[in-house]
Amino acid sequence: MIALRLLDDLSTERHEGEVYSCSYTPDGGYMLSAGWDGNLRLWDAATTESRLSLPVSTKPLSSCACSPDGKYWLSGSMEGLMGLWEGVSQQAVLTFVGHTRPVSSIAYSPDGQSLVTASWDKQVHLRQVGKEREARILNGHTDIVAGAEFTLDGRQIISWSYDGTIRLWDVELGHEVAR
């Protein structure tokens, strides 16, 4: 079992402030984290050392994800802004308004063709990779949506909210199938 080590000093190997989200790269060799400092950080999973810090926003980042092919990183901010970054060059590919409130979570579908985002704006958004600015809105929650994930077969999305509900959505039809 590998555990992140505690730092003895206030070195540059950390976020300045809270860490809101972490995501493994597909090969499990690295971890991506998003924090209050507006940085995405890449960590070596074996050594727990910080490999790079990418300043992506002057505002706090609330979520992050690695694409299933490992080529791209996606960030979500407390402002509802989202950014797509090329992992090797760390260059911005796309920046857009993803939600009207903080982005709670980002998850890619198992096949890497879709992604789902959840937000404090009470919405779940289903997006197609390559058309990230466009979203199918899945409405139903009445409070902050804390997170959303695809099922292992990618045919459904599960979302959970501060409203006390867990909802199951059909990806193809874009509607709720269970609560």
Indicate the pLDDT class of residue 159, thresholds 50, 70 and 90: very high
Mean pLDDT score across all residues of the chain = 92
Task: Please tell me the distance from the alpha carbon of residue 136 to that of residue 124, in angstroms, as a whole number.
Answer: 8
Q: What is the pLDDT of residues 65-115, one digit of tens each?
A: 999 999 999 999 999 999 999 999 999 999 999 999 999 999 999 999 999
Instruction: List the one residue out of 84, 105, 87 whose CA is nearest residue 160.
Output: 105
Listed in sequence order, the DSSP H helices in 62-159 are: none
Model confidence at 8, pLDDT cuts 50, 70, 90, reads very low
From the list 118, 111, 53, 93, the residue with the least C-alpha distance to 83 is 93
Gap between the Cα atoms of 111 and 104, Å rounded: 22
CATH superfamily for domain 19-141: YVTN repeat-like/Quinoprotein amine dehydrogenase (2.130.10.10)
Rounded Cα distance between 63 and 98, Å, is: 12
